[in-house]
Amino acid sequence: MYDDRAFEAGWNAGVMADGEPDAFEFSQYKDEYREGFVFGYGYALGFRMASSWFGVSESGRMVCKYSLWGAEALGRKHFKDPALLQVYLDGYNSEMESEAEDDQDD
């Protein structure tokens, strides 16, 4: 069962956050909390940067970075506009490419 309260707590924490969380510490939270945090953080970042597109892209990047389940399903859930969904997926894919490059450098 989906935990709306955990999502809301994560959203609120993401909106108030000054930066991205530590990956290990972040992994200890419930999936719904992490989902809320990522999308709340992206929303607030887009607001601060005066670019909702930037915030949407960052949400996609963070979904990849923190290995949240169902990346495409999450995008479809949060972004009904096909253009925003594409920006989200582009952010996700850019993080995937970045991680692949980092792995090649090791």
| pLDDT tens string 1-34 | 999 999 999 999 999 999 999 999 999 999 999 9
pLDDT, greater one: 65 or 100: 65
Q: Please say if the pLDDT value at position 93 is more than 90.
A: yes
| pLDDT tens string 42-80 | 999 999 999 999 999 999 999 999 999 888 899 999 999
Closest residue by Cα to residue 67 from 19, 26, 36: 26
When divided into structural domains, the chain yields a total of 1
Q: What is the mean pLDDT of residues 77-94?
A: 95
DSSP characters for 53-84? HHHHHHHHHHHHHTT-S-HHHHHHHH--SHHH
Domain containing 50 equals: 4-105
Res 70: pLDDT = 87
